[in-house]
Amino acid sequence: MVDKILTDRFGRSFPYLRLSITDVCNFKCTYCLPDGYKGEADGFLGVDEIRRLIAGFAELGTRKVRLTGGEPTLRKDFLDIARVVSQTPGIETVAMTTNGYKLPERAQSFFDAGVNAINVSIDGLTPERFELITGKNRFEEVMDGLKLCQEIGFSPVKVNAVLLKDLNHSELDAFIQWAAEGVNLRFIELMETGENGAYFEKHHLSGDVLVKKLQATGWVEAPRDALGGPARVWKHPNHIGSVGLIAPYSKDFCTTCNRLRVSAKGGLHLCLFGDGGHDLRPLLQKDSDKEALKETICELLDLKVAGHGLHEHNTGATPHFASIGG
């Protein structure tokens, strides 16, 4: 029996797993898949493989699982996957990240299947800007879906927005006002990947721009949630919502790392910008392999390095964010 919990050589623990269930996406976001999805939509982990994977991680101390993609809801068996994950002993939070496709008609089914937290990607606050960045004219649909999620009772409901110079940074004040009215925002600093080098140079904007705006208007940084992601979060004594920032280029960003990633085909990625995944799939074929799975995960964790190489333009094996789930 494995009695070791997921802790690395640097004293970081990992109660949070991001599980990509597909790398397929039906949007054409300029920072990720500007030309649309070009891969082959097959060979992804099946429901039973996912059940065994999550059971092993849960016994090693994982308490939060986020279902990602690509766009995870494109899986026809998404509800089956959500139920399997939510019913795993030890898993307290089942979150998902979605582009909001068909969210108004499907949000209730996600909640009923056991998803209790949801992040919706909204990179622009007008239909025109939304379409410019995502390649899709679905702004009203996504906004309606977000409102419905708030009414249904997902806790929390968050909005993800990638911070993009010359594309949406002129809307920062409007985004912050939206948060003041009750929305939980999470800005993500644009990161360089293997395929977006020129785009990164053109549109990267330091998260410091957002921080200065928040500090100047009375927002106060809140204590970090142990099960939360890497975002620094600000709240305001007179407002309801929150504003978070994921800034991977900031000093000591990796010291608070608490998440591991598994790709849609079963690769364990110790870092979003690592040199590749470690194949766990052979250990997901039989229930009797669970102890070997847990031993392998713990052994691989010893290979995790102190930080990424983004400052040196080392993007590892990540061609785009859909490939591992961001």
pLDDT tens per residue, the chain (326 residues)?
444 578 888 888 899 999 999 999 999 999 999 999 988 888 999 999 999 999 999 999 999 999 999 999 999 999 999 999 999 999 999 999 999 999 999 999 999 999 999 999 999 999 999 999 999 999 999 999 999 999 999 999 999 999 999 999 999 999 999 999 999 999 999 988 777 889 999 999 999 999 999 999 999 999 987 777 778 999 999 999 999 999 876 656 667 778 899 999 999 988 765 666 799 999 999 999 999 999 999 999 888 876 554 555 554 455 655 666 65
Place of tokens 């994921």: 246
Furthest C-alpha separation in the chain: 57
Is the N-terminal amide bond of 156 cis, ω within 30° of 0?
Answer: yes
Q: What's the pLDDT at 19?
A: 97
Q: Is the pTM of this model over 0.85?
A: yes
Compute the distance between CA of residue 56 and CA of residue 129 in angstroms, rounded to an integer: 43
Compute the distance between CA of residue 30 and CA of residue 87 in angstroms, rounded to an integer: 36
Q: What's the pLDDT at 326?
A: 57
The superfamily (CATH) of domain 16-323 is Aldolase class I (3.20.20.70)
Compute the distance between CA of residue 286 and CA of residue 296 in angstroms, rounded to an integer: 15
Q: What's the pLDDT at 270?
A: 83
Detail the DSSP E strand segments found in the chain.
Answer: 16-20, 64-68, 93-98, 117-121, 157-163, 184-189, 220-221, 232-235, 242-246, 259-262, 267-269, 278-279
Helix residue spans in the chain (DSSP H): 47-59, 78-86, 103-112, 127-134, 139-152, 172-180, 197-203, 208-216, 290-301
Domain boundaries, the chain: 16-323
Q: What's the pLDDT at 305?
A: 75
